[in-house]
Chains A and B, each alone.
Chain A
């Protein structure tokens, strides 16, 4: 029983981490039609900024606040300089973002000397409830993920800003004719997605430690999640992220870990094959 509860908590917390990482990726993919191959590196950048601020002697949580802002600024600059040239050619955009990601990754590698650096959690320790150890920081990640998810959903579906973002995606010509600057909308959306990546990086870095390849693993899982969930909706990639995260954490409890790793991909691909629509059928946001 204890072990089952422990398992559920650990699996949920890893699911939350993947959802957090996928959120920004999904929003950019869904609202802009760009698959951002630099997303993993935005996550890394968020982690790096957290480390920098912490390294300056400030508390970790200050770094976690600075990370989304810093990565958003970086995302904005990159959107204006690079990404906006690629809206007409999504495949070229993939290459472009991949190149940006490579530059960021190798840059960070040089800055941290290729090492692995430990960053402490702002909340240390675990809650022990009836023999079950719940790491406080993992619990905090689950809560923050839910808040950010709900917040982003409301922003995109319930505000006039969200309406304009969706208008710019659905029918750019009509949106422009209605006085919406699609170019500004894209810039804001990309910046928002980057900020979410930065936040994800800041929150997960105490769990995984800081290293240059932090983003790569998440990029593959994020890509799988977006494929599984389908693009075009807000819920799709998020649900995909939850499924991938929960599967990758839960399968090793049941089968050999090396097999579990492959099984996640096999199940995801099989799912896409037999259900080529979205994971959650229905209307788009």
Chain B
């Protein structure tokens, strides 16, 4: 045995086991960050300002969405202050970073409640974030909470109001449209977490009610980036519609592989209900040509809806750059939430939680992104108009609009 080859003597080389052992605790290393911002109004009143708390993901994986939420809040609060505030008092904006990380979020949201004593909290984007912070805000914090993102529904906790679309709003009109403009054989490839599971349950009901068929419903790890097996299943089973709930980073490679396999060329229809202007850039336009989405707002509607055009123009003027005003990342829900809350506080005439919640229960706004919105009494969810859009050469084109306001069918 030649000892010299294997013997490393006094070098600093580690063997594999040592490497393993020492690396094990490394994996526990978590990045932490602290961020709070306070935006004071330009004027004051004797009664002091009304405090609005925003808890959103300014940093981390979904920072692009969180920053859009914060921007919308700044814009709406500024508008309200310029118009004389609410009840003669200006709004003071407290923005807290939830950092796409639930444990950091809970500590930061506690600051909003305990240190800043805000009158209302808006924010949270993912369902896991909402679940992490809702107890801090509503139960222990005794504060009103408005959740702005499209989600799987079933959030029926008192004092939580949801202003984003629910599965019923995203499926009831969209899936029949897909059957007419795609076919009846559906595949439901999905990321393995709560939203796709619950949404698919609802979507399957609508598909089967309309005479369609679910060829397969399959769940993937959240960070899976290789989808050849799935693509093969879709192609060999002659699936007509891929109703996708795979999320980034997997969705880009998945759509690319589907396109390479010729799914679009043979007339297949891609559908994805969180797809907005942000996600449009994940793939080259030809890879997702014909992708259909159903949301409460698309930038494409600014052409024929003056209210949406005005809101979009104001946002673009104040926040030019990469952070977009888009429905899939809760920006429209944030706008709607703040405006509905403004209406409710004005009606209640005070900031007491019960009084505001009672007024919010039937609050309505005539002018929002995508059209009017109103809370369904007793349901704490929002009726709104829904739009179906199709990606054409890198932009959306609106192809269908709901007749009136669509019911969220929750709680």
Contacts and interface: CB of A to CB of B under 8 A. Distances in A.
A257 B20 CA distance: 26
Contacts of A10: 226, 228-229, 232, 257
B228 A11 contact: yes
A6 B6 contact: no
B282 interface: yes
Given A115-B281, A120-B284, A249-B226, A91 B22 contact: yes
Interface string B25-54: 010010100000000000000000000000
Contacts of B226: 10, 14, 248-249, 252
B225 A208 contact: yes
A95 to B, nearest CB: 7
Given A133-B260, A217-B225, A90 B12 contact: yes
B220 A102 contact: no
Contacts of A114: 61-64, 67
Given A6-B232, A35-B23, A170 B11 contact: yes
A94 interface: yes
Interface residues of B, number: 58
B277 to A, nearest CB: 11
A284 interface: yes
B224 A172 contact: no
Contacts of B282: 116-118, 209
Given A87-B12, A109-B63, A249-B226, A257 B262 contact: no
Contacts of B22: 90-91, 94
A231 interface: yes
B129 to A, nearest CB: 16
Interface string B153-164: 000000000000
A277 to B, nearest CB: 9
B215 to A, nearest CB: 16
Contacts of B15: 231
17 contacts: A11-B228, A14-B226, A35-B23, A91-B22, A94-B23, A115-B278, A116-B282, A170-B11, A171-B11, A207-B253, A207-B256, A258-B219, A258-B220, A258-B221, A261-B220, A272-B20, A276-B16
A116 B252 contact: yes
Interface string B225-268: 11011101000100000000000110011001100111000000
A98 B26 contact: yes
Contacts of B281: 115-118
Contacts of B209: none
Interface string A122-143: 0000100000010100000000
Most central of A115, A253, A258 by chain B CB within 10 Å:
A115
Nearest to B231: A10
A230 interface: yes
Most central of A10, A227, A232 by chain B CB within 10 Å:
A10
Interface string B59-98: 1011110010000000000000000000000000000000
A7 interface: yes
B316 interface: no
Interface residues of A, number: 63
A118 B284 contact: yes
A158 interface: no
Contact of B26 (A94, A216, A227, A230): A94
B312 interface: no
A252 B10 CA distance: 44
Contacts of B402: none
Interface string B266-308: 0000000000001101111001000000000000000000000
B211 interface: no
A115 B64 contact: yes
Contacts of B228: 6-7, 10-11, 14, 249, 252-253
A178 interface: no
A208 B253 contact: yes
B13 A126 contact: no
B19 interface: yes
B232 A7 contact: yes
Contact of B9 (A98, A171, A208): A171
Contacts of B321: 113
A81 B223 CA distance: 33
A234 interface: no
Nearest to A113: B322
- Those 9 A-B pairs whose CB atoms lie nearest each other, nearest first: A10-B228, A113-B322, A114-B64, A209-B252, A114-B63, A33-B13, A252-B229, A116-B282, A261-B221
